[in-house]
Structure 1
Amino acid sequence: MKLHTAYIGTGSNIGDRLSHLQEAVCRLGALPETKVLRASPVYMTEPVGEEEQERFYNGVVQIETGLTPENLRSATKAIEQELGRPERYRRWSPRVIDLDILLYADCIIETDTLRIPHPELHRRKFVLIPLLDIANPLHPVLRKTILQMLRTCGDRSVPVRLRERLRLH
């Protein structure tokens, strides 16, 4: 079985946000052929889109997995639903948990259900900053590192680093 490195963005702005993020990390680590290698500190960030909602807690985890990108996407969607996120939801709405595959090895995938790298990765400080805390991979389309993208990111938000850090299991 060949293992691949992937980065998963995590976010929550309903209920016990830190607990939701931590439970998602635990469930990612329990997936078949998958191990959580690193987890970022947690950041509090302003919501994007609908601004009349609670702030988000965000982080990024680095995993090593034998799952295909499609199977990993199915697994992250199942974790979201198990933790209380409805299958259908309004874009930008509050959510118990949000899991996004940011990068998967050096894959470039564009299907109806999956886009890797994540199409908004280079535009979002709430993803770039925690990702840079744990790694500085190369974006396979833009051919820039996370640090290079952060330096040119037009996002004016200021993610606030919390003391909490996602724990590995």
Structure 2
Amino acid sequence: MNRVYLGLGSNIEPLKHCVQAIAAIKAVSSEVRCSAAYQSDAVGFDGPRFVNLVVEMETELSLEQVATFCRELEFTLGRPALAEKNQNRTIDIDILLFNDLISNNPSIPRTDIHQFAFVLLPMYELAPNLVIPGTVTSISQLWEQRQHQLLVQQPITPIQLDC
């Protein structure tokens, strides 16, 4: 069984698209846990506020299968095939961690986990003692080191989202 952490984000009908993504993830998982959902301003461009959360799943799918599943789910939920970075989106699904794997294609663990409050706080909620593969640093250590700076730079607001 593989333990996978996915970052979900949406700023086009975000509650609808996040709930639909979670339902699809549950269909390919034996166990799913969700962090709280957070609303934040778009980063890198002007757009509607995003809703973000992290989903922890256990699945028999391989990394390649999870990557394909996530990409196909993004398309199913209306993300254009040629979507660019820093634009509005129905759903964005990033593989943050896949077991203890370190990979370059896709980039696992995601190198930007520590850069965004809307990723690091949800990871802290789900797996505070998890050590990021390739480091000796736990999620809780990262959160303790970065929380003040991140929350000043990127204020986030918890919102209700049923998982």
TM-score (norm 2): 0.91
The one of 74, 95, 120 aligned to 2:89: 95
The one of 115, 118, 141 aligned to 2:110: 118
Preserved CA contact (<8 Å) 2:35 2:55: yes
Aligned-pair identity (%): 31
Q: Is the partner of 1:6 in helix, strand or coil?
A: strand
The one of 141, 157, 166 aligned to 2:134: 141
Preserved CA contact (<8 Å) 1:21 1:166: no
Moved over 6 A (4+): none
CA RMSD after TM alignment: 1.3
CA shift at 1:35, angstroms?
2.7
Unaligned runs of 5+ in 1: none
Note the 1:20-169 alignment, pairs <5 A.
20-31=17-28, 34-50=29-45, 52-111=46-105, 114-136=106-128, 137-153=130-146, 154-155=149-150, 156-162=153-159, 164-167=160-163
TM-score (norm 1): 0.88
CA shift at 1:36, angstroms?
3.8
Preserved CA contact (<8 Å) 1:9 1:127: yes
Q: Is the partner of 2:30 in helix, strand or coil?
A: strand
Preserved CA contact (<8 Å) 1:25 1:166: no
Unaligned runs of 5+ in 2: none
Change (3 A) 1:36 1:80: farther
Partners of 2:100 and 2:156 lie apart in 1 by 27
Partners of 1:21 and 1:117 lie apart in 2 by 22
Partners of 1:158 and 1:131 lie apart in 2 by 16
Question: What is the aligned residue count?
Answer: 158
Change (3 A) 1:60 1:166: farther
Partners of 1:166 and 1:35 lie apart in 2 by 18
CA shift at 1:21, angstroms?
0.3
Q: Is the partner of 1:87 in helix, strand or coil?
A: coil
Change (3 A) 1:36 1:79: farther
